Amino acid sequence: MKRELEQPNNGKTQSNKDKSANEDKNIADNHQSYEEEKVDQLDQSGEIKKMKQQSILEKLNLPACMLTRTHLCKHKFGCYENTLRGWYRSFAMAFLVKSLFTHLPKIVKPVKLIKKILSIKGNTDAIKFALFASCMCAIYKAALCIMRRITGDDKINAGVAGFLSAFAILLDAKSRRLFLSLDVFVNMLEKRGIIKKINGFEVWAWAVMGCFNKYCMSYEPECLNNGFRKFYLKASAMTQNDIIMCDTWAKSLIKQKQGGQ
């Protein structure tokens, strides 16, 4: 009797085990199908992103030669489009930064600020600087990609591209050319180890330059650049009477020196 009672109980426990195994299998299958659906959704979203980031020039049906890139190029799009993208991004960034620095001091006078922003003359300097920066970037990118189609040595390619892109400085204002050239040249010498960086050198150089500038401003203002002289007058907030008094005082000192000789 005991054996007969144990047999149906064993059958029930076996059936319960089978049911639990089936349930676990169904849960695993559902989880797997959910994961597959999730992966499909991610793939679709990735495809959508790729479609959004698709090359602009590919939509224009341009020749294939304008859509290709070399094996050395690391940019995403073709060389031609990469050059165009570099040009307008550099132009926008340089124009924005230069305009900000130019017009920011006039923020206390909103009417003059708006007139200056809307006028072409007020933005001429910013446009020149933006053209210089954008054309230098575009020429470098274009020359580098062209050189990569000729030779595979990127050291030579970068040197030639950098040399050609430097001619973009002709588009910038003459007053900034010397400053930019000297700044880049000195930085190159320092990074190459040709000259050593002196800590605090710029502070001492500025102090010495300030002595000469103040002397010229007081005794020989005609030696200074007109723009520089106007900047000093604005920074010192001197009135017309103060300027006349300083001129008279300087002339009297000069006469005393001449009389003493």
**Is residue 59 assigned to a domain?**
no
**CA distance linking residue 205 with residue 66, whole number of Å:** 50
**CA distance linking residue 135 with residue 171, whole number of Å:** 9
**Is residue 58 assigned to a domain?**
no
Do 28 and 135 have their domain in common?
no
Share of the chain above pLDDT 90, in %: 9
Do 206 and 193 have their domain in common?
no
Do 208 and 161 have their domain in common?
no
Domain residue limits at 69: 64-197
pLDDT band at 3 (very low <50, low <70, confident <90, very high): very low
The gap from C-alpha 88 to its chain's centroid, in whole angstroms, comes to 12
pLDDT at 12 over 50: no
The pTM for the full model equals: 0.57
CB neighbours of 162 closer than 8 A, spacing ≥ 6? Answer: 140
pLDDT at 186 over 60: yes
- The tally of domains found in the chain comes to 3
Do 132 and 72 have their domain in common?
yes
Do 215 and 118 have their domain in common?
no
List pLDDT tens digits, range 201-238: 878 888 888 888 878 877 777 778 777 777 777 777 77
Exposure class string for 234-257: b at 16+ Cβ within 10 A, else e: eeeeeeeeeeeebeeeeeeeeeee
Do 19 and 104 have their domain in common?
no
